[in-house]
C-alpha cells in the first residue's frame, strides 16, 4: 500500500515538474472594490431602446420556449389546478402577444 501511495505522489509531482514546476496562482478579481464606482448613464443607455434588441429578443425567445415546454406537460396533466394553468397561459400570452390556451400550446 505504501508503494502505491508513493508512486501516486511521485506521478503528481512529476506532472507539476513537467509544467515548469510552478503551481497555478489564484486569479485576482476583475476590479478591486475601491476601483468599482457608479458610472454615469451614457446617452446610449437612456430611453426605451439602448441598442441591444438582439439580446432581448433571444432572451424572450428562450423564456417563451421554456414556458411552452412546461405548459405542454401542464396541459396534459389533470392533477394541476385549472387556475394555476390559466395564470401560466396568461403569462405565456404576455410574452407572445397572442391569446394562448392548451390547444395553441399543444399545436406548436
Q: What is the pLDDT of residues 54-107, one digit of tens each?
A: 787 788 888 889 999 999 999 999 999 999 999 999 999 888 888 999 999 988
DSSP conformation class of 26: P
> Is-above-0.75 flag for pTM?
no
Note whether 4 and 10 are within 8 A (CB): no
**Cα separations in angstroms, 74 against 18, 60, 71:** 56, 21, 5
Phi and psi at residue 36, to the nearest 5°: -65, 135
Other CB atoms within 10 A of residue 19 CB: 10
DSSP conformation class of 35: T
Residue that has been written with the C-alpha cell 468599482 in this structure? 36
Amino acid at each position: 500500500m505504501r508503494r502505491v501511495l508513493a508512486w501516486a505522489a511521485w506521478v503528481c509531482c512529476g506532472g507539476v515538474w513537467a509544467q515548469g514546476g510552478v503551481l497555478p496562482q489564484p486569479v485576482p478579481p476583475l476590479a478591486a472594490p475601491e476601483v468599482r464606482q457608479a458610472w454615469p448613464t451614457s446617452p446610449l443607455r437612456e430611453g426605451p431602446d439602448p441598442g441591444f434588441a438582439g439580446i432581448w429578443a433571444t432572451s424572450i425567445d428562450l423564456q417563451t420556449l421554456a414556458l411552452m415546454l412546461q405548459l405542454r406537460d401542464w396541459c396534459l396533466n389533470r392533477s394541476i389546478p385549472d387556475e394555476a394553468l390559466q395564470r401560466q397561459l396568461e403569462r405565456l400570452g404576455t410574452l407572445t402577444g397572442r391569446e394562448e390556451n392548451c390547444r395553441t400550446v399543444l399545436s406548436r
